[in-house]
């Protein structure tokens, strides 16, 4: 059985090479070939000793998830459905913008947190992704974008954005990243390593629904930019929309956010807030939010709800979102409204579903909005 070298960060690769009798410095060379050049063939790694290339060819491999489907949206957003075995598929999304290219990366096959407005949460949960399956999404995306650029040197996104490489990574795809902590941190190490992808901590974002013990560990082990899926200003509503809130309520979550800021590469937390018509989008909700985050340096990213079959929810109107944004901004809270990208190929926020053989055998009430409204009476 060969080992997949995509599973190793620099420390792990150094140890592996030592175990097979090779010098530690070879790890840096291998990282550059694998992650910077996107090479999967050991024979092409010209600065490695021929004997090492032969040895690696017999005991190791470089294998990312297999591409099942590759969709490109009218706005340039690109979504890959990737096979991770046993009839399971995950989705990754590349979003080209004027000054950057952002890859949305998945961390699990499905999700166990069951947020009621999220398509991924409706699929149930199968398993955590391996390091190779997480970092393999970035490896594949960079290779695919380089190939596209080689075939058409003039290829560009909106406003002329070059699509040759990923400049930003957001762990906002399928799954809760902090529920797959060790594998996610190893993948983050590779994203940040100058011998691999060399991304800055400010350009790598982990999004969490609020697993507080793991959030504290991330602060200690690998503090990158942080986004928190908030979606409600009080516990009663968030208990239904984001059920993990029952275990880690808002007061504890806000305290964890303040702790995280002591090590974070940015001086604020981003709070993500999906705008659900008649559920969490009133002026009262906006004013509650102001009180909730008064001691947490933050910005808000308001996300127009992206529908999916039988969701039970509707998107707040543009006017409602504008009023909500203005209330927050009048309280000196930086607030943006996320531009919906890739919704014509179901690549927008909350729409990623992949292909999940649910091991949780979860039964979800598809009339989620009714359940929410019951809590508000």
For residues 242 and 231, the answer to whether their CB atoms sit within 8 Å is: yes
Q: Is the dihedral of CA 328, 330, 332, 336 positive or negative?
A: positive
Strand partners, 336: 301
Quick one: which of 271, 266, 258 has its CA closest to 228?
271
Other beta carbons less than 10 A from residue 24's beta carbon = 12
Active site residues: 91, 349
For residues 104 and 356, the answer to whether their CB atoms sit within 8 Å is: no
Quick one: which of 253, 302, 251, 306 has its CA closest to 280?
302
Can you spell out the DSSP letters for 73-87?
-TTS-EEEEEE-STT
Give phi and psi for 22, each to the nearest 5.
-110, 160
For the chain, counts of helices (H) and of strands (E): 12, 14
Can you spell out the DSSP letters for 194-214?
TTTT---GGGEEEEES--HHH
d(CA 325, CA 338): 11
Contacts of 264 (CB under 8 A, 6+ apart): 219, 223, 224, 225, 226
For residues 95 and 102, the answer to whether their CB atoms sit within 8 Å is: yes
Q: How many CA atoms lie within 13 A of 95 on its CB side?
A: 19
Contacts of 340 (CB under 8 A, 6+ apart): 304, 306, 348, 349
Q: Which two tokens stand for residue 319?
A: 């006017």
């Amino acid at each position: 059985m060969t080992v997949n070298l995509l599973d190793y960060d620099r420390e792990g690769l150094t140890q592996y090479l030592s175990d097979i009798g090779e010098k530690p410095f070879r790890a840096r060379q291998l990282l550059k070939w694998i992650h910077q050049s996107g090479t999967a063939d050991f024979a092409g790694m010209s600065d490695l000793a021929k004997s090492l290339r032969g040895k690696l060819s017999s005991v190791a491999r470089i294998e990312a998830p297999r591409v099942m489907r590759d969709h490109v949206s009218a706005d340039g957003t690109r979504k890959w459905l990737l096979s991770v075995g046993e009839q399971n598929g995950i989705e990754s999304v590349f979003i080209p913008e004027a000054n950057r290219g952002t890859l949305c990366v998945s961390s699990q096959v499905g999700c166990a947190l069951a947020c009621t407005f999220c398509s991924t949460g409706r699929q149930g949960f199968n398993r955590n992704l391996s390091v190779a399956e997480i970092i393999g999404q970035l490896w594949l995306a960079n290779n695919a974008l380089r190939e596209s650029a080689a075939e058409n040197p003039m290829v560009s996104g909106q406003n002329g954005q070059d699509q040759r490489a990923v400049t930003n990574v957001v762990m906002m795809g399928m799954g809760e990243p902090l529920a797959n902590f060790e594998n996610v941190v190893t993948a983050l190490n590779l994203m940040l390593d100058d011998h691999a992808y060399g991304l800055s901590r400010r350009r790598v974002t982990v999004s969490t629904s609020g697993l507080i013990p793991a959030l504290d560990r991330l602060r200690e082990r690998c503090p990158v930019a942080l986004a928190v899926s908030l979606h409600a200003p009080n516990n009663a509503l968030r208990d239904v929309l984001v059920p993990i809130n029952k275990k880690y309520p808002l007061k504890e979550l806000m305290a964890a956010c303040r702790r995280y800021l002591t090590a974070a590469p940015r001086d604020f937390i981003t709070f993500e807030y999906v705008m659900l018509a008649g559920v969490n989008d009133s002026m009262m909700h906006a004013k509650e939010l102001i009180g909730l985050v008064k001691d947490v340096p933050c910005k808000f990213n308001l996300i127009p709800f992206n529908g999916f079959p039988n969701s039970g929810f509707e998107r707040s109107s543009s006017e409602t979102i504008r009023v909500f944004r203005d209330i927050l901004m009048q309280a000196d809270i930086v607030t943006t409204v996320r531009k919906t990208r890739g919704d014509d190929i179901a690549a927008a926020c909350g729409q990623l579903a992949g292909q999940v053989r649910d091991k949780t055998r979860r039964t979800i009430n598809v009339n989620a909005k009714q359940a929410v409204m019951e809590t508000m009476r």
